[in-house]
Amino acid sequence: MSLSQITRGDESEFFVKGRVDGPVANQLEVEVLAAIRTPVRRIYINLAEANFLCSAGIRVLLQYHRKMKAEGRELLVSRTSPEIDQILELTGFRDTLVEKI
């Protein structure tokens, strides 16, 4: 797994590669929380190169999606791999979490 972040203006995008299992979900939560404490308006989680997403990872995405939305800001999944798309679809959170282009 690798996790990197690019911030441009008031947007921040995280690029997650490989397996998003329990420990990676915890790491992602720490990084997302740090980003939320900055003035960014939009946070994107790019999962185009992720191939595994556990329920803990989905909980992180959903929890901070809801928190950002309540503050008038946005946290969305910007891109998905086919594997991640399948997992989000079967949990019923795909339409909520994935950015509509």
Per CB under 8 A, residues contacting another protein are 21-23, 52-56, 58-59, 62-63, 66, 69, 83, 87, 90-93, 95-96
- Answer yes or no: are the C-beta atoms of 45 and 14 closer than 8 Å: yes
Structure tokens at 2: 């690798």
Output the six-digit token pair for 101: 């282009």
CB-nearer residue toward another protein: 7 or 63: 63
Q: Which is nearer to another protein, 5 or 96 (CB)?
A: 96
Q: How far is the CB of 33 from another protein (least distance, A)?
A: 17
Rounded to a whole number of angstroms, the minimum distance from the CB of residue 35 to another protein is 21
CB of 54 to another protein, least distance (A): 6
Report d(CA 68, CA 62) in Å as an integer.
10
Q: Residue 29's CB: how many other CB atoms inside 10 A?
A: 17
